[in-house]
Structure 1
């Protein structure tokens, strides 16, 4: 069986990398690109024109479903678009695989409720990198024993949300095993607001945005007389393809809601 995939965000760098990666899979086919513009045009690699034979663009979700019958919607757009895209997918029986971070907890709860009500498999992955997911899992393992934690996440300067979805997900995984407590000196004074970063139950998250970066995260865990550093670096968006294709195959076998790629990695 060939899995038919529609991509929202195919014009972007991650979307185009995903398109190329999926095309190389023997059991998958990209059948459509969902966008807010370019309806009726075709995507040929990175070129958009009127010549048939490429990936057709659609601006109407219902029309796309009727004409191409996708099994899965891969969404790598942005937080402003992803909720409505995922909602439409579930309502049309198309399984969404979401790789966009910055989705609000309220939106996540709504999508989870809708996915369960319609029994449409849904996977939301703040990070598709297998290495990054392992970094999160290892950090949660370590936090059972080293409970003072700071997260440093570094991304390119075009990223919209801060902290990153990966950093938030890491903190949530650590929350499950770490007793909430204030870190640092009890009388610590923040001379410049924000200097100590975002606070999640005493953990600190620091966000860096600079040109030249792609996606990087380091989790620092401190103990008496020791420091453990767990770091992951992404140098090429091709590193996301194994996680994307894993999620696409997995979502075809599910009728529930999954938040986090770590849930489907043993």
Structure 2
């Protein structure tokens, strides 16, 4: 049985992870941590009456007391790097869905994981369909180098653009290289109207509205035609098969990897 601690347990994603781990035959939920909800019952948070855990406030203490195999983190961009460092130093493998990690933090944490010989997974998106969307977009960019990304999320999301959009742009830029598209003398009448420009010339547009969960489309333009590749998560349940996969696969890793595709498509 894989012992799992959930960090950010009181959040919307955290509650879904609690239920998923609790109902997984090869996992045991040993701790729920969230400094904004100490003392709350996980049974009340999740609606699962048999889940008899109380939310703890101190991550470092919980890691020490429960000795989990894996920490799943869905917290905030401000706290995630420190949480992953605490986990690695405690000998615990991190599975991270929190977005907003800086590239420098990922590099530093990767070095620490290598020193500890511990596996870890940082995934901008755990939905299998979203991973496929990114892979299809990379394949399309060979034939349609002109593209822009539109990502749409709920209005409580703390970072923009999304980690998925950034990861998609990284993958496309690595495939097609730097590419200049549009008019060099283009004028924005309202600053930011053309979105943010990612390295390599890819424009990313972020939408934040109630009613959305997590959505992204990559629009390609060519001579007399367009191609749109889109993925929609209409429920947070869509991320849970990927979370389960990451928890299982991280047990066999000895390094920190960025992107769920690294373990899905490795064979």
TM-score by length of 2: 0.94
* Number of the residue aligned with 1:239: 238
Q: Partner of 2:79: helix, strand, or coil?
A: helix
Matches for 1:50-199 after TM superposition, within 5 Å: 54-199=52-197
Partner of 1:34: 33
Q: Which residue number corresponds to residue 22 of structure 1? A: 21
- Is 1:203 equivalent to 2:202 in the alignment? yes
State whether residues 5 and 74 of structure 1, in contact with CA within 8 Å, keep that contact through their aligned partners in structure 2.
Answer: yes
Q: How far apart are the structure 2 equivalents of 1:183 and 1:251? A: 39
Question: 2: CA distance between counterparts of 1:212 and 1:254?
Answer: 37
Q: Quick check: 2:30–2:66 contact (8 Å CA) kept in 1?
A: yes
CA contact (8 A) 2:9 2:55 kept: no
Q: Which moved more, 1:171-180 or 1:86-95?
A: 171-180
Cα offset for 1:14?
Answer: 0.8
Write the distance in 2 (CA, Å) between the matches of 1:226 and 1:92: 53
> Secondary structure in 1 aligned to 2:21?
helix
Q: Classify 1:229/1:156 alpha carbon distance in 2 versus 1 (closer, same or farther; 3 Å).
A: same
Q: Is the 8 A contact 2:18 2:46 kept in 1?
A: no
Q: 2:121 touches 2:246 (CA, 8 Å); kept in 1?
A: yes
Other structure's SS at 1:29 match: strand
8 Å CA contact retained: 1:147, 1:179: no
User: Does the Cα contact within 8 Å between 2:138 and 2:175 map onto a contact in 1?
Assistant: yes
> Displacement, 1:111?
0.7
1:9·1:15 contact (CA, 8 Å) conserved in 2?
A: yes
Deviation of 1:216 after TM superposition, in Å, equals 0.5
Shift of 1:187: 2.3
Pairwise CA distance, 1:84: 0.7
Match of 1:257 in 2: 256
- 1:101-144 C-alpha deviation (Å, 9 max, x unpaired): 11111111111111111111110000010000100111011111
TM-score by length of 1: 0.94
Deviations 1:179-227 (A, max 9, x none): 3122112322222111111102211100000011111100001111111
Report if aligned partners of 2:10, 2:37 keep a CA contact under 8 Å in 1: no
Q: CA deviation at 1:63?
A: 2.8
* Matched positions, count: 263
**Secondary structure at the counterpart of residue 120 of structure 1:** coil
CA distance in 1, matches of 2:125, 2:51: 32
CA distance in 1, matches of 2:237, 2:56: 25
* Structure 1 residue ranges without an equivalent (≥5): none
1:11 aligns with 2:21: no
Preserved CA contact (<8 Å) 1:31 1:56: no
